[in-house]
């Protein structure tokens, strides 16, 4: 297999005739087949990928090609592609094929990316380990006894195992950044609204964001420039500026003391302290306070389960998706179809969401959580008056064993303790690999920025990638 560092280098090889895109795609397909045990893919589009490779190769030869020409990308199976399966890793959609293509995916296709397949995820993107898929758990390529993180674990595992050039995930409370940390990748959650959600199967509509996984910082701005932009099909999408080469010489980094309290693995804290000591030589580092982030997990799970309860009500066995055969009347049809189609975690979150929205509890839980969301947003606005970036761990631990936390939902939920605030507030955030622990498991470092300042996140990612020795 011809080696290349990033897309720029790959494109140069393709233009010079030193790399055949068709052979490149065939190699990826062979690797996918050889790594089936990882269970990263729900569906592989072999025929389509090979046909696309031939067409794009000719475009490159003619000199008329898109920004992502030849980049082989895997897509999380919550994003629709016309006439392709869209299961969300759930039995309730196991035979469903999409009738249109998601805006984000169509933009990749328009710029001559090769879509190689759809990756597994936690069912309806609900989970932190990718053990909730109806297709079975995804394994971490670095240690196959451990989880790759969730909910975008399939996308992370596919890239970490070199089964594609880049991959696309979704992030509702850390579902790109946490798998990136567990698999040693860069994972970017954009500003809410920067990327159209049209064609994304909703989990929690006011939280969901589509973003990329990459192995290098150079590919991130290219992918983000393609994904970004206003879409008339999504009223929450916003026209935003392009990613630029940010001058980071005057960037001020804030370190919130609340993110380094009890519960953080000692090896992760030690490694981040080392990184901070190096960053201090190049950036101004200041301690900041985010006093109300301690309520973020509670607020997040109240609000997202409420939105999930509403969003998933459409799966009723009538309009589309799984329909139970064991029913006597309409009420029985609803109950049987949903009971058979949804997995345990989805049922748990629907029940929680229905409870917090119910009469008598709406004010006590849902309304109060919305107020807390606003208070947390105020904390971040005050912080960004003082600093440009906020540094924190991505996860409290490195990748845990498969099955280790499946019987302890609360412990599983707490894996998102450092990532949920960015989704509550709607700001962009990135996870960057900074080395490994004593078990050779990757450690992730998170940076958060103010809205639409992804350029600063990518700039600091490039700095760390180029200047810090990974141990």
pLDDT in tens, 391-434: 999 999 999 999 999 888 888 988 999 999 999 999 999 999 99
What mean pLDDT is reported for the chain?
A: 96
The pLDDT value recorded for residue 261 is: 86
* Residue 163 three-state SS: coil
- Residue among 391, 186, 423 at smallest CA distance from 299: 423
The pLDDT value recorded for residue 293 is: 96
Asked if residue 310 lies in contact with residue 364, where contact means CB atoms within 8 angstroms, the answer is no
Distance separating alpha carbons of residues 104 and 424, to the nearest angstrom: 22
pLDDT in tens, 445-466: 999 999 999 999 999 999 999 9
Q: Which of 10, 76, 405, 462 is catalytic?
A: 76
The pLDDT value recorded for residue 450 is: 98
pLDDT above 80 (res 156)? yes
- Classify residue 396 as left (phi > 0), alpha (psi -120 to 50) or beta: alpha
Distance separating alpha carbons of residues 5 and 275, to the nearest angstrom: 24
**At residue 295, what are phi and psi to the nearest 5 degrees?**
-95, 0
CA 418 to the chain's CA centroid: 15
Q: Which of 129, 175, 209, 237 is catalytic?
A: 175
Instruction: Indicate the pLDDT class of residue 241, thresholds 50, 70 and 90.
Output: confident
The angle subtended at Cα 72 by Cα 66 and Cα 73, nearest 5°, is 100
How would DSSP label each residue in 199-213? TBPPSSTTT-EEEEE
Asked if residue 129 lies in contact with residue 224, where contact means CB atoms within 8 angstroms, the answer is no
The token duo for 285 is 């580092």
pLDDT in tens, 202-229: 999 999 999 999 999 999 999 999 999 9
Q: Average pLDDT in the 343-371 region?
A: 96
Distance separating alpha carbons of residues 134 and 341, to the nearest angstrom: 10
Q: Which of 80, 90, 151, 461 is catalytic?
A: 151
pLDDT over 70, % of the chain? 99
Instruction: Indicate the pLDDT class of residue 469, thresholds 50, 70 and 90.
Output: low
* Residue 312 three-state SS: helix
The pLDDT value recorded for residue 471 is: 45
Task: List, in sequence order, every residue forming a beta bridge with 447; answer none if it has no partner.
Answer: 391, 430
- H helices present in 312-430, as ranges: 330-341, 344-357, 368-384, 409-413, 420-425
* Residue 401 three-state SS: strand
User: Would residue 151 show up in a list of annotated catalytic residues for this protein?
Assistant: yes
366 vs 328, residue with greater confidence? 366
User: Does the global pTM surpass 0.85?
Assistant: yes
pLDDT above 90 (res 327)? no
User: Would residue 76 show up in a list of annotated catalytic residues for this protein?
Assistant: yes
417, 423, 427, 432: CA torsion to nearest 10: 50
- H helices present in 386-442, as ranges: 409-413, 420-425
CATH superfamily of 1-471: Amidase signature (AS) domain (3.90.1300.10)
């Amino acid at each position: 297999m011809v080696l290349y560092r990033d897309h720029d280098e790959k494109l140069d090889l393709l233009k010079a005739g030193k790399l055949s895109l068709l052979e490149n795609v065939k190699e990826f397909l062979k690797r996918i087949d050889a790594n089936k045990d990882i269970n990263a893919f729900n569906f592989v589009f072999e025929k389509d990928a090979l046909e696309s490779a031939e067409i794009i190769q000719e475009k490159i030869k003619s000199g008329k090609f898109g920004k992502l020409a030849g980049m082989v990308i895997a897509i999380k199976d919550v994003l629709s592609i016309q006439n392709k399966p869209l299961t969300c890793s759930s039995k309730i959609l196991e035979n469903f094929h999409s009738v249109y293509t998601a805006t984000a995916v169509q933009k990749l296709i328009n710029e001559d990316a090769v879509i190689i397949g759809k990756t597994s995820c936690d069912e309806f993107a609900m989970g932190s380990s990718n053990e909730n898929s109806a297709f079975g758990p995804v394994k971490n390529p670095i240690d196959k006894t451990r989880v790759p993180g969730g909910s975008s674990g399939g996308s992370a595992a596919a890239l970490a195992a070199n089964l594609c050039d880049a991959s696309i995930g979704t992030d509702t409370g850390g579902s790109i950044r946490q798998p990136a940390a567990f698999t040693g990748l860069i994972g970017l959650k954009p500003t809410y609204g920067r990327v159209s959600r049209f064609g994304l199967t909703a989990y929690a509509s006011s939280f969901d964001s589509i973003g990329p996984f990459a192995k290098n910082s150079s590919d991130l701005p290219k992918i983000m420039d393609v994904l970004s932009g206003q879409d008339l099909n999504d009223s929450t999408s916003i026209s935003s500026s392009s990613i630029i080469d940010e001058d980071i010489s005057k960037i001020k980094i804030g370190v919130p003391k609340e993110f380094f309290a009890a519960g953080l693995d000692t090896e992760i804290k030690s490694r981040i302290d080392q990184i901070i000591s190096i960053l201090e030589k190049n950036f101004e580092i200041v301690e900041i306070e985010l006093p109300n982030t301690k309520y973020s997990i509670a607020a997040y799970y109240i609000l997202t389960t409420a939105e999930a309860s509403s969003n998933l009500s459409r799966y009723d066995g009538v309009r589309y998706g799984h329909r139970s055969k064991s029913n006597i009347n309409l009420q029985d049809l609803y109950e049987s179809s949903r009971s058979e189609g949804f997995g345990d975690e989805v049922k748990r979150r629907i029940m929680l969401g229905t409870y917090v929205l119910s009469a008598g509890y709406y004010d006590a839980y849902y309304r109060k959580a919305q107020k807390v969301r606003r208070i947390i947003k105020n904390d971040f606005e005050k912080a960004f008056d003082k600093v440009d970036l906020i540094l924190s761990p991505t996860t409290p631990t490195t990748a845990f064993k498969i099955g280790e936390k499946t019987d302890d939902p609360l412990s599983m939920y707490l894996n998102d303790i450092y990532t949920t605030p960015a989704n509550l507030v709607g700001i962009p955030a990135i996870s960057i690999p900074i080395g490994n622990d004593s078990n050779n498991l990757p450690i992730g470092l998170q940076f958060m920025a103010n809205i639409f300042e992804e350029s600063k996140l990518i700039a600091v990612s490039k700095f760390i990638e180029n200047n810090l020795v990974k141990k």
